[in-house]
Amino acid sequence: MSSQNNEFLLSQEDSNDVSSSSDPNSSNYEKIALIGSGAYGMVYKARDLNNEGQFVALKKIRIPLTEIGVPISILREISVLKQLQSFDHPNVVRLLDICHGRNFEKQFNLFLVLEHVDQDLSTYLQRCPSPGLSLDNIKDLMFQILTGVDFLHSNRIVHRDLKPANILVTNKGQVKLADFGLARIYKQTQPLTAVVVTLWYRAPEVLLQSSYSSSVDVWSCGCIFAELYNKKPLFPGQSENDQLFKIFDLIGSPDPSDWPDDHSLRFNNFANFRKRDLKLVIKDVCDDGKQLFEMSLFTSNWNYLGETIFKKFEICSMLWGGEIDLNEFHISSANYGGPIALVKKIHSQVKSHQQNVRIYSAFGELLSEFSISEDIIQIGWSHREEFICVLSNGFISLYDMFGQHNSTLTLDQEIRDSKLIECKIYKNDDRTGIALLTTSLSFFLCNNLYDIKLRRLAEIPLMKEPPTCWEILTYDIDTRLIVSHDKELTILRSQDLGLININPFGESFDEFITAMAVSFDYSRIAFFTETGKLFIANCDSNLPNCMSVFSTESKIKPKQLTWCGKDAVACHWTNLIFFVDNEKNWLKYPTYGNVHMIQEIDCIRVIDSDFQELITKVDESAVEIFKIGSWSSGANLLEASRLFEQENHKVDDYIRLIEEKNEMEYAVNACLKAACHEFDISTQKLLLRASTFGKCFAKNCDSDSFYRVCQRLRILNALRNPDVGIPLTYNQLERININVIIDRLIERRHFLLALRIAQFLQIVPEDGMIKILTKWAFFKIRQPNIDEEEVAARISRKIQPKSGVSFAEIANKAIEYGRKNLAIKLLDLELKATEQVPLLLKLKEYRRALQRAIESGNTNLIHMVVLSFKKIQTNDQFYLGLRDFPIAYNLYQKVSFIPQ
């Protein structure tokens, strides 16, 4: 017999469960009216003649007597109801009796006598007057529904058909779960069938015919909850396919590995959905509802990697608007939220030496586009955020992010003769270096790109082909190359130009290493082998020390291998980012389309054609506060702060809980620390308000730390604005000092924001206001389309003569750009004659220079101008010109012999 028919067979255990404890006759009940009908029978309103005419629900079930037996759904309902009737739960309909009806040749009738309820939830909603259910009513109904579901699950029963039509509501508002025809007593490991739940309330795993358990009831409860609030179904699908589209459009596409291989629907049809904000779906939420959303949303993107929690969240929509297919470009991004460079890949069949370069902000705003005529070996960014192009002809070109060519560096003739085949760019916070591999299989190293001193490293014996992969480990006093070749690892040292072969994996290791990745701080390194093994090693010592090995079960080399801080390694394959830590715990994130990972000191930024997301470790303070069911002091302080704003008297209970533990200062600092690592401004404010509230009860609380955090968060929020486009984390801001932030804003031409930050932090003028205004003036001078008169007027309006800004320095920059008239106008604003006069001489404005020197009263300046003037004039011209300046003429007479 087929498995489908087996589903309808009654087991001996089921037969025992449904055998009636009594055998009354159905004539004891009088039918009054038809209530409804189902798959196997009808439900009547009836009167119990033996119980003073009490109303009951009489469910008449027609049971076919065929060779396939009695439908198991009928027997299952009787079994479940008999099991539950002994508990007499207030939110589960009671089974009062079982009656046998008349028997026929091919079927017999069975009557289930249930307690009578006048209406179901669907009818209850229809009868509810406008504008619908009140919030208190919704909370009461959902509490009762969830109480009933919890009772079923505690007895290992899954209802599997929760919907408004199967939820009864009495006139007094009491909820009763009914219609257990699809219910099932389950074990945790037992896969259940897919033919359950009315379409609109089905969970995705049911629609995909995957194994599931009690979670499908919780999904149905959520759909009912949304329907009560929105007054319409949440997912009103017209078919299973349409239902999946509606679900994934809200919650985002599932993990590709969770998609059933044998399902008729292909994953690619649903691969590009992204999770939407619930606030956009459930609108006009009250304060309690907002809190419920916030508390659930705090942890909705959390995922455990062993005992560590990571979260993935969207930073922004990319401003390039989905027009970029990342698979067609070589990609390089500067760290600390820096710009992104894309170089168009050249297909082998296309013969062109012009390579297109585009530079975007971290948010995808196009900053510049230009072409390079030579073949590009490697692209990257320096610690100064200069774009680096290493060319095959042995030259290195440096550009700013707006495509302005800054300089060209020349490599040694030996390298230019032998040609480059590979290059890697590495950097610290204050230094950028490069490592080169030539066609002669020689490695060269330069520890400072801005002071090129190349060192040729030791030759690797017997290496006849380029290495399969290699990486750079840099320390304060030494930089090393770790090279994989012929199933061996070799370390090349730059300090003593030595080499050493190593094997941190054990004597039995005999595999090719196909990929390596070094952590941001060079303290960890990961190796990926041809058999799919991932080795994680510690580099704190002189030699890598293997900490763990994990089998990824994929022999395909990852598209990218990178580190998330130093807590986990991220492997990127098609449609998947796979995390592994040194304890062999793993975590996977689905991806949509082509993505690129950007390694940062404490996180990974993931960009694709439409969005940018961030994956990072959740700070321990945030875990303590937001973890579901947390009773930590930080969580209690947050709740106390919320209740205080609502003027709720329960706030005193939470404060007392914290003070009994003597942890008020700890709670204040926990909320403060958690606020540091939040990107969402409303969450920052929530935590800062809690911290401020807690300070009122703390005896020894450091107000300076609170003030400093508020300062840093204001700066971070300004930098993260799409108009600025620098998605820094708090840890990154602490790593690079504020002067670097000022410099980077200047390079991006965000002069006003840089000036406001400098004023906000009260930075000394030399490092703040003076530097910013000077750079702004330089930028204005470089704009050739603006008239010199207009440029001078703008500069004079913005910069006051007594501001401390050197107009002479600005004028000198104008001279460099060939704008002589502008330089003269700017020099007229310079108050210091010692800086003004030399530049006037440089411009050959001798009369202006002499006049300014005389006005200053500085005799040395006067003599300097007079002598400079004399060098370019004949004697007659010199004396005639000097007589126009009597003071200078008289001074000159005193030091020189002038004929009468």
Query: What fold, for 3-115?
Result: Phosphorylase Kinase; domain 1 (3.30.200)
In this chain, the answer to whether the domains covering 3-115 and 303-317+457-618 adopt an identical fold is no
Q: Are 523 and 538 in contact (CB under 8 A)?
A: yes
Token pair of 696 as six digits = 């009122």
C-alpha to C-alpha distance for 576 and 184, rounded to whole angstroms: 35
Half-sphere exposure of 812 (CA within 13 A, CB side): 12
Scan for tokens 């032998």, then name that residue: 418
Q: Which helix (H) or strand (E) holds 465?
A: none
Ramachandran angles phi, psi of 98, nearest 5°: -130, 125
CA 195 to chain CA mean position, Å:
38
Q: Tell whether omega for the bond before 784 is within 30 degrees of 0, i.e. cis.
A: no
In the CATH hierarchy, which fold is given to the domain comprising 303-317+457-618?
Methylamine Dehydrogenase; Chain H (2.130.10)
Where along the chain do its domains lie? 3-115, 120-281, 303-317+457-618, 331-449, 620-701, 780-831, 836-900
Catalytic residue, candidates 120, 161, 400, 619: 161
540 is known as an active-site residue? no
Spatial separation of the C-alpha atoms in residues 124 and 78, rounded to whole Å: 27
Take residue 272 and report the two structure tokens written for it: 């590009």
Strands of the 95-103 sheet, one edge to the other: 29-37, 41-48, 54-64, 107-115, 95-103
CATH architecture of 120-281: Orthogonal Bundle (1.10)
Residues contacting residue 470 through CB under 8 Å, at least 6 positions apart: 424, 437, 481, 482, 483, 484, 516
CA nearest neighbour of 744 among 298, 383, 472: 383
Q: What is the pLDDT of residue 701?
A: 80
**pTM of the shown model:** 0.76
> What pLDDT is stored for residue 897 in this prediction?
47
- Nearest Cα residue to 799 out of 833, 821, 825, 817: 825
Distance separating alpha carbons of residues 434 and 472, to the nearest angstrom: 9
Q: Assess contact for 404 and 438: CB atoms under 8 A.
A: no
184, with CB counted inside 10 A (0-12, 13-18, 19+), is buried
Q: What is the DSSP letter of 23?
A: -
632 CB-contact burial (10 Å; exposed 0-12 / middle 13-18 / buried 19+): buried
pLDDT at 140: 92
Q: Six-digit token pair at 370?
A: 């230009």
**pLDDT number for residue 18:** 36
pLDDT along the chain (900 residues), means of 10: 32 36 56 72 81 81 61 62 73 80 67 82 86 86 92 81 88 85 46 56 81 82 88 86 85 73 69 69 67 69 92 91 86 95 79 83 94 92 95 92 92 87 91 93 92 91 92 86 92 90 86 94 93 90 83 93 94 92 91 90 93 94 90 93 89 93 94 95 93 91 90 96 94 93 95 96 93 94 88 91 89 91 90 88 86 85 82 77 79 62
Q: What is the dihedral of CA 201, 203, 208, 209, to 10 degrees?
A: -90
Task: Identify the three-state secondary structure at position 834.
Answer: helix
Q: Tell me, what's the pLDDT at 191?
A: 46
**Would you state the pLDDT for residue 380?**
96
Tokens of 850: 């002499």
Class of domain 331-449: mainly beta
Contact 846, 869 (CB under 8 A): yes
| Best CA proximity match to 71, nearest among 99, 101, 40 | 40
Q: Distance (Å, rounded) from C-alpha 553 to C-alpha 557?
A: 11
Instruction: Return d(Cα 572, Cα 596) in angstroms, integer.
Output: 9
pLDDT tens, 668-694?
999 999 999 999 998 999 999 999 999
Q: Residue 270: exposed, middle, or buried by beta-carbon count in 10 A (0-12, 13-18, 19+)? A: buried
CA distance 78 to 113: 11
H or E, element range at 417: helix 413-418
In angstroms, how far is CA 138 from the centroid of its own chain?
34
User: What CA–CA distance (Å, rounded) separates 162 from 178?
Assistant: 9
CA dihedral 283, 285, 291, 296 (to 10 degrees): -40
Could you say which DSSP state residue 92 is in? B
Structure tokens at 226: 């949304």
Supply 666's token pair: 């700890």
Q: Is there a contact between 557 and 515 (Cβ–Cβ < 8 Å)?
A: yes
Among 491, 602, 469, CA closest to 545: 491
Q: Which pLDDT does position 451 carry in this prediction?
A: 87
Burial environment of residue 766 by CB neighbours within 10 A (0 to 12, 13 to 18, 19 or more): exposed
Number of Cβ within 10 Å of residue 217's Cβ equals 29
CB atoms within 10 A of CB 284: 7
Residue with tokens 């469910």: 59
Q: Among positive and negative, which fits the CA dihedral 280, 285, 287, 289?
A: negative
